Structure 1
């Protein structure tokens, strides 16, 4: 029998709560739902007003993965959706998670949450910049940290304040709040930063995606600033063997990182970190310190 729970006046069927989703730790779907309920106050501000894509992994990371932009079949009519015109589908819509009820409904599908860099009211006009630092073995997140510090200072030179989070996989994500700017302009600036990082740190950085270029280096992926692209949201679980979370980190932690384990956080770690640090990325939500994107 599927239990029914009521959240913010909405009845939600929660299924298969004992099902193991993350096999390395035996983490169940019920524990995942509990995690999202606990971190809702941290996560929701980063999801509100942003059309979502979902990476679904209902049978765990070793099962079939589904990446979807369209609202999943059976989406309740009380779940908010927003118009996201696409060249192949002018009438396309995507889910917007705007409260605890829709968060728990989505979490019950077992998903990674991925957001655009723009809000629903202004598609293709970004209010933040993102750089995804992805290490090519044998490089690790430790190497990403060194590159992140350089990029932080480079962004600061342009008047932009950078914030960091783990990807929840192997690397780091850097964000900077910006004044609303067309995504193609932000993309061009992000690419300039990536090229400059490779020029200044040629032994450590590559700005092109080709796998042949990446062993032992950090790929500075600037492509996620494109209007159609998304990035794993802060505090989302990732479809990994262990229940890793894309977790905001302080610059002190980035600077001090000497081993990958120091910047690996699982769902049971996040609440205590929030008690200690609050939401490191909160200024991105509040728009504090957002600056103009330099012209090319």
Structure 2
């Protein structure tokens, strides 16, 4: 066996880790071993948000400065113990096209993906075989707007959703924006959830047209927050809470408290992009701030 390869047993599953000293984030000197360590330590709060969902991975085999690729289908050499779900190709008009998606229900599968340099994990708003149990709005800032402006809009969105009895939970995207995640009933289809998210986004854009847009066109976005309601389409995925992001330095899609969001939005605190070690400290302090996403939410109004 190569000295760069290490057989391990995790929860009764045998797998082989490789090239643990390989640097995947050159600017930070952050190695594949550290990626695996982070995902192992964050697994108790991450796995419930992955469970039962078809996972899209973004792999960076030569680090964040190298070529990367999206991967939906199972990779070659997938261990026989990895759970797969054969589902239609997202967005395909050919009903017979299918993909063998990986489902990450346990720590061995998570570590196996981390060893493949699957730095980013993205999931849909539905669990396999069910309607959406999440409504997600992506708050995407058009420069010079940034995380501060996103935070202010997040508070407006939270308050508007609350009128309909919908609770919203914030997280950073790990890149330039943030997302609000809302548990919903799981009894209404993606088209209805998308229509509702669009209606609310357009209401807010009409209220504050100088700061918010609900239009996709990039030409109208500079200086505004685009409320991306389309994240709820059946074929869309959103970065999973606690996933790493492939930035120059490793960042994490980090759950926030509303006090933190309000402080940034009002200028009382500085915007912050959280690193893996900070997120692990936050989990020790707060637990999973998105735990309520795992509880069934309300039905959305249909008019």
Aligned with 2:153 (options 147, 155, 158): 147
Aligned with 2:223 (options 216, 223, 233): 216
Question: Match of 2:22?
Answer: 19
Aligned with 1:93 (options 89, 100, 124): 100
Residues 30-81 of structure 1 deviation map (CA, whole Å, 9 limit, x = unaligned)? 0110001111001000000011111111222221110121112221111001
Question: Match of 1:49?
Answer: 52
The two structures have a TM-score, normalised by structure 1, of 0.95
Question: Match of 1:118?
Answer: 126
- Name the Cα RMSD after superposition: 1.4
The two structures have a TM-score, normalised by structure 2, of 0.93
> Does 1:59 pair with 2:68?
no
Separation in 2 of the partners of 1:8 and 1:38?
Answer: 14
Counterparts of residues 174-213 of structure 1 (less than 5 Å): 174-180=180-186, 181-213=188-220
Q: Is the 8 A contact 1:131 1:190 kept in 2?
A: yes
Aligned with 2:293 (options 284, 289, 292): 284
Residues 196-254 of structure 1 deviation map (CA, whole Å, 9 limit, x = unaligned)? 11111111111122221111111111111000110000000011111000000000000
Q: Is the 8 A contact 2:263 2:269 kept in 1?
A: no
Separation in 1 of the partners of 2:144 and 2:170?
Answer: 22
Aligned residues, how many?
Answer: 292
Separation in 2 of the partners of 1:109 and 1:50?
Answer: 19
Aligned with 2:144 (options 138, 146, 151): 138
More displaced 10-residue stretch of structure 1: 55-64 or 252-261: 252-261
Other structure's SS at 1:39 match: helix
Q: Is the 8 A contact 1:49 1:121 kept in 2?
A: no
Uncovered stretches (5+) of structure 2, i.e. residues with no partner: none
- Tell me the CA shift for residue 172 of structure 1: 0.6
Q: 1:259 to 1:96 in 2, by over 3 A?
A: farther
Other structure's SS at 1:274 match: helix
Separation in 2 of the partners of 1:206 and 1:262?
Answer: 21
Q: Which runs of 4+ in 1 moved over 4 A?
A: none
Question: Match of 1:265?
Answer: 274
Other structure's SS at 1:76 match: coil
Other structure's SS at 2:281 match: helix
Uncovered stretches (5+) of structure 1, i.e. residues with no partner: none
> Does 1:229 pair with 2:236?
yes
Question: Match of 1:39?
Answer: 42
Separation in 2 of the partners of 1:126 and 1:246?
Answer: 21
Separation in 1 of the partners of 2:102 and 2:209?
Answer: 41
